[in-house]
Structure 1
Amino acid sequence: MYKPIYLFIALRYLWNINLPNFKKFYFLSITSIMISTFSIVITISVINGSENNFKKNIISFIPHLIITNHDQYVKKSDFPKQILNINNIKKVSDLITKEIIVQSKNNISIAEIIGIDETNNYNIKNYNQKDILKILNPGQYNIVIGTHLAKKLHVYVGDKINLILLSNKKNNFSGQIFNQHIFKIVNIFSTQNEIDYYQIIMNKKDSLNFLKYSKNYVSGWRIWLHDPLNLNLYEFKKIINKLTLIDWKLQKGELFKAMKIEKYIMLFLFFLILIISILNIFINLTTYIVEHKYVIAILQIQGLSNWKIMLIFIIFGSGNAIIGSIIGTIIAIVLIMQNDFLKFFISYCFKENDISIIMIPSQILCINMISILLAIFSTLYPTWNAVQSKSARVLSNE
């Protein structure tokens, strides 16, 4: 005799697809769970890729966090060393930056200068420029500008442009004081990012001279974070009192919020599909139990306890969810690993070519666990209701 008996009966029901009126329930339940699991895994993987692109192509170029003051002119010794104890901090470096006016023979524009030296290697590599520090020797006033800014100014490598700084000081006779200097373009960078439209890189010493900063003063400190999407400003505000915090959300916060809203809406819609699939199991299982309530009555007469009878239908109902989840997950993983079809479909529908799809095993496991647990919960009520009926009365009506 097979033991435990309730497991044998449940598996017998699960695999015997030749039972009358059973094929529809069996395949419909598995197909609905498979489609919902497949959809959620694909969707969340695409969202992961979008967030990774957001980190790589946007947040990697703008400061995750800047510590400065109102004038963006702060003494190096004022650096709050206590923030180094915050776990999310990856790297800290001095920051020399300022918005300026750039003028060429053909056009004029607003730009942002960035002063760099050997301490900025972590950021320099993002510009895809080899030996950039060698061509930006101090005292020569050489610069590297973004490709779109160069196109707007109609300038090329070797041309000279005039950088103009508006001073905060006033002169009673001439009004606003201008500080300007001629710089030579020695290279043009292209990052496929919006900084190509406005950023200018120069040697740190040249930037200090141009801005007329004292030797021990900087614009602030640039903070790189391990996870900029989970920036907790409250941790920094507890430590920093007199200084000002400028985080990346000031520039890209609205875009990030839009991405989050789209993420939650998409996941909500696909979880609704999962809920509908679970309801399908609930309805079909309820119908199946009502049609075969005499089988339950016979099992009760044979001495099988109510909780073991419940286990039969719980295993039976959740088995459909497990099979559907596994098949849906396998299909999703295969399509993601061989993602030419997915990229073609996404680019065809949304006209987007640069699509990255990232699977996170813990997320896939969580999706499958939620699907299976919901299926188990959906079987509890119909099975509990079935075992409450009187076996003698049920059999007397057969």
Structure 2
Amino acid sequence: MNLPISLSIALRYWRAKSADRFGRLVTNLASLGIVLGVMALIIVLSVMNGLEGYQKQQVLSSIPHAIVSQAQPISIKKPLENRPHFVQKAVPINTTKVIYQTAKGVSAGQVIGIQAFSDDPLLESLDQVSFDSLLPAGEFKLVIGNQLAEKLGVNVGDKIRLMITENSQYTPFGRVPMQRLFTVSDIYFDYSEASGYQAFANLSDIGRLMRIQPEQAQGYRLFLTDPFLITELPAYFPQQQITDWREQKGEFFQAVRMEKNMMGLLISLIIVVAISNIVTSLSLMVVDKQGEIAILQTQGLTKSKVRSIFIYQGLLVGLVGTLIGALLGVLITLNLTSIIAAINPNGVFLPTTLEGGQICFVIAFSLLLSLLSTIYPAYRAAKTEPAEALRYE
């Protein structure tokens, strides 16, 4: 295959053992730095992606991703209209903030009205139990978390007074919160913080306390395939009020995202420093090959082709280092658990998630910097005058 003359010369220079050992050392250091930088950036971004996904699964699985409601209660006899494709499940909900009071303790929390145990991930362990036996309508029974039960010092069968601060009633002594005694019918076990404040009751029971008709509800509780798609919900529900998980956990995930961006920026500086060595190595090569450049120009090689030689030369160094670094980064990421287990037998768990778009961006970023680093040395090489370069040869 006939290659362009500039690329052929660049390949020959790249494969040849340069007489300038220092220039060759700088070139090798540039390639090694690019390998390490690209590899480290892919590994760090994959680990941060994995941690973000793990936290998203652990933290957001126990809370509603979004609640769609409006000023007036909505009918639950018909399904939710304009339901987007990324909504995995939509269930009616009545919920309010409450104060739990028992003889042994007081705690603030949230009570959620449901129609079935499948309405909430925290109650998946109760799917084998009849819903009507634990939360029958009209009997004001409650299923609470193990952490909340421990705070209040209650067991199954004990009474808990619920005071609803959002809904009050007038009495001769003034306005007092709506309150009702509930019976603990079961306790669910979960390690998340939600089990320390969330309790569940029958949808109609909570509706009665909030003066909502049995066939109506405050809104719909949405569980999405990806919780981060909540930003698209306003386009589907322009008239409804949307409350999402960001009110509770938004700051936490903003901190995780900022940490990932800062880690990516710091690791990117390794690539920038490594690629700056390409400028040094090409500048040394221009000085070393000045006589050869002059001879090539006397034989008809144009200045644009001289520039192309050194652009190709820098790109070859960047391309080889980037591809090797990307390959090593992907291989190490795929086997990171085994590598950590071999180094640290105590079993440190680091979830990883490789994203093709990020890998392509890292490769493109490295190659772009490699290209930009060749501009100045290539420009200097093209300014070589044959008469001046060959005067003392």
Q: Same fold (TM over 0.5)?
A: yes
Separation in 1 of the partners of 2:59 and 2:158? Answer: 29
**8 Å CA contact 1:91, 1:225 repeated in 2:** yes
Matched-pair contact (CA < 8 Å) for 1:133–1:203: no
Assess if the C-alpha contact under 8 Å between 2:141 and 2:182 holds in 1. Answer: no
Aligned residue for 1:58?
A: 59
C-alpha RMSD of matched pairs (Å): 3.3
Question: What is the CA-CA distance between 1:79 and the residue it aligns to?
Answer: 9.8
More divergent stretch after superposition (307-316 vs 369-378): 307-316
Cα pair 2:105 2:151 within 8 Å, conserved: yes
Amino acid at match of 1:221: Y
How many percent identity over aligned positions?
A: 27
Equivalent residue number for residue 37 of structure 1 = 38
Change (3 A) 1:208 1:352: farther
- The number of aligned residues is 387
Equivalent-residue separation in structure 2 for 1:393 and 1:7 (angstroms): 26
Secondary structure in 2 matching 1:245: strand
CA deviation after TM superposition for structure 1 residue 163, in Å:
3.4
Q: What secondary structure, in the 3-state scheme, does the structure 1 residue paired with 2:169 have?
A: strand
Match of 1:182 in 2: 182
Q: Distance in 1 between matches of 2:204 and 2:129?
A: 12
**CA distance 1:81–1:175, shift in 2 (3 Å):** closer
Q: In the alignment, is the contact (CA less than 8 A) between 2:123 and 2:188 conserved in 1?
A: no
Contact 2:135 2:142 in 1 (8 A): no
The one-letter amino acid of 1:323's match is V
Are positions 1:384 and 2:379 aligned together? yes
Could you say what secondary structure the match of 1:328 adopts?
helix
Residue 237 of structure 1: CA displacement? 9.4
**Correspondence for 2:69:** 68
CA 1:302–1:78 in structure 2 vs 1: closer, same or farther (change >3 Å)? farther
Q: 1:138, 1:205 within 8 Å by CA — same for their partners in 2?
A: no
How has the CA–CA distance of structure 1 residues 256 and 218 changed in structure 2, closer, same or farther, with 3 Å as cutoff? same
Q: 1:273 to 1:60 in 2, by over 3 A?
A: same
Instruction: State the 1:209 CA deviation.
Output: 4.3
TM-aligned CA distance change 1:239 to 1:175, over 3 Å: closer
Structure 1: distance between partners of 2:192 and 2:76: 34
Distance verdict in 2 for CA 1:371–1:61, change over 3 Å:
same
> SS of the residue aligned with 1:220?
strand
> Shift in Å at residue 238 of structure 1?
7.9
1:68 deviates by 2.9
Equivalences for 1:147-226 in 2 at 5 Å?
147-156=146-155, 158-166=156-164, 167-173=167-173, 175-190=175-190, 192-209=191-208, 211-226=210-225
Q: Deviation of residue 321 (structure 1)?
A: 1.2
Could you tell me how far apart the structure 2 residues matched to 1:204 and 1:347 are?
Answer: 50
1:96 to 91, 94, 97: 94
1:4 corresponds to which residue? 4
Shift of 1:23: 3.1
Aligned to 1:312: 309
- Structure 2 unpaired stretches of 5+: none
8 Å contact kept, 2:144–2:184: no
Which residue number corresponds to residue 48 of structure 2? 47
Rate the CA distance shift 1:32–1:54 in 2: closer, same or farther, 3 A.
Answer: same
- CA 2–147 in structure 1, closer or farther in 2 if over 3 Å, else same: same
Cα deviation for residue 174 of structure 1 reads 5.9
Deviation at 1:173, TM superposition (A): 3.3
Q: Structure 1 residues 87 and 390 mapped into 2: Cα distance closer, same or farther (>3 Å)?
A: farther
Residue in 1 that maps onto 2:142: 143
- Letter of the aligned partner of 2:385 in structure 1? K
Q: CA deviation at 1:61?
A: 2.5
Give the match for residue 293 of structure 1. Answer: 290
SS of residue matched to 2:20 = coil
Amino acid at match of 2:127: D
Pair 209,78 (structure 1): closer, same or farther in 2 beyond 3 Å: closer
Deviation by residue 1:208-236 (Cα, 9 ceiling, x = unmatched): 34555312331222233444325337935
- Output the amino acid matched with 2:169: K
Change (3 A) 1:326 1:177: closer
CA distance in 1, matches of 2:260, 2:147: 31
* 1:199 Cα deviation after fit: 1.0
Q: Distance in 2 between matches of 1:312 and 1:323?
A: 17
Structure 1 partner of 2:243:
246
The secondary structure found in structure 1 opposite 2:363 is helix
Change in Cα spacing, 1:339 to 1:222, as seen in structure 2 (3 Å) is: same
Separation in 2, partners of 1:54, 1:389:
58
SS of the residue corresponding to residue 329 of structure 1 reads helix
- The equivalent of 2:392 in structure 1 is 397
| TM-score, scaled relative to structure 1 | 0.85
| Alignment pair present for 1:14 and 2:9 | no
